[in-house]
Amino acid sequence: MRRALLSIVTPFYNEGEGVHAFFNELYEELEKIPDIDWEVVAIDDGSRDNTFNLLLDHSHRDGRIKVLELSRNFGKELALKAGLDHISGDVAIVMDADLQDPVYLIPGMLQQWRNGFDVVLGIREDRSSDTRLKRWTSSAFYTLFNMISDTQIPVNAGDFRLMDRKVVEILGTMNECNRFNKGIFAWVGFRTTSLPYVRPIRLIGQTKWNFIQLLLLAWQGVTSFSAFPLKLLTVGGLFLCIVTFIYGSFLIFDTLILGGDVPGYPSIMVTILFFSGVQMLSLGIVGEYIGRIYSETKKRPPYVIRKIHQQKHESHQHQDHRSIHTFGDHPFHPTHFRHHQT
């Protein structure tokens, strides 16, 4: 009977300080798991430090490590798609390179997969290590998103999860460039369970996410999975029209019937500035959606892979991809590109 193949999918961006520690812990855990073969799909997302060279070194020493060298930094969301598009396994586990997604959860995830579940989520059980601001904003985001979207994201579930190959294949057909993976993962459904864990403190390197980037990612999630902001504009516009009509009627009645004075310059300026601000905000939100439509209609590939690096490994009949370039999710022969092979 053929042994199942597990694919570990991990994006790397300027993680040079922690590459060796990541592989050491991963090796130690994977070698304990009986009756399963494994591979690692490591995605270098345009790192500017020595991350790529370290990944290449591990790949040269172990043919089970496949390194996808992206042509530039595409961001974590698209880097994950690149990795999932290039797995060879029967099942995939997505995890970060900072070791805050604990490798000890892998055997439990595989057991749940063998029990018949297609998706196994890692759910953070305790967020006490986060700042108070991050805990509050995270809770507010999950609450708001699940209120306004038909797609429900499990609270405290990140990208750390196991997915059966059939789930990964469905995800591979979804090629939108404006991606919010947490929403996409939840949207496809399938039989899902979860395992709780306590996220350890990051000991090596620093996070590449700041508050503004997290805020923009949250906004991308909302606009990718909900038309609520547009509906809010409609309701807000209707409300302002009603208020303006009532106020205008009052002014007419006060001036013509009661003989009151016509309001002066300050009130007019305040009204003009207020409605100008509302219009600019409305145009900005509408423009956000139009910009996404424009971006998607160009049908550019979501990512470009400069080169795939992998040594042949005796136990698996994987193709040596070192001379294959990938454009989005479509492989091209090297002669399609004028590229100097080193």
pLDDT tens digits, one per residue of 53-107: 899 888 888 888 999 999 888 888 889 999 999 998 899 999 888 888 888 899 9
Q: What pLDDT, on the 0 to 100 scale, is given for residue 321?
A: 37
pLDDT band of 273, cuts 50, 70, 90: low
Task: Quote the pTM value.
Answer: 0.68
H or E stretch including 164? strand 157-164
The number of beta carbons lying within 10 Å of the beta carbon of residue 87 is 23
Between CA 167 and CA 164 the distance in angstroms is 5
pLDDT band of 43, cuts 50, 70, 90: very high
Residue 332 has φ and ψ, to the nearest 5°, of -125, 150
Residue 337 has pLDDT above 60, yes or no: no
Residue 252's alpha-carbon distances to 33, 240, 268, 273, 274, in angstroms, are 81, 18, 15, 22, 21
pLDDT band of 301, cuts 50, 70, 90: confident
**In degrees, to the nearest 5, what angle opens at C-alpha 163 toward C-alphas 160 and 89?**
110
90 within 8 A of 149, measured Cβ to Cβ: no
Residue 174 has pLDDT above 50, yes or no: yes
- Across residues 256-277, what is the average pLDDT? 66
Q: What pLDDT, on the 0 to 100 scale, is given for residue 281?
A: 73
Q: What pLDDT, on the 0 to 100 scale, is given for residue 207?
A: 62
**In degrees, to the nearest 5, what angle opens at C-alpha 77 toward C-alphas 136 and 92?**
105
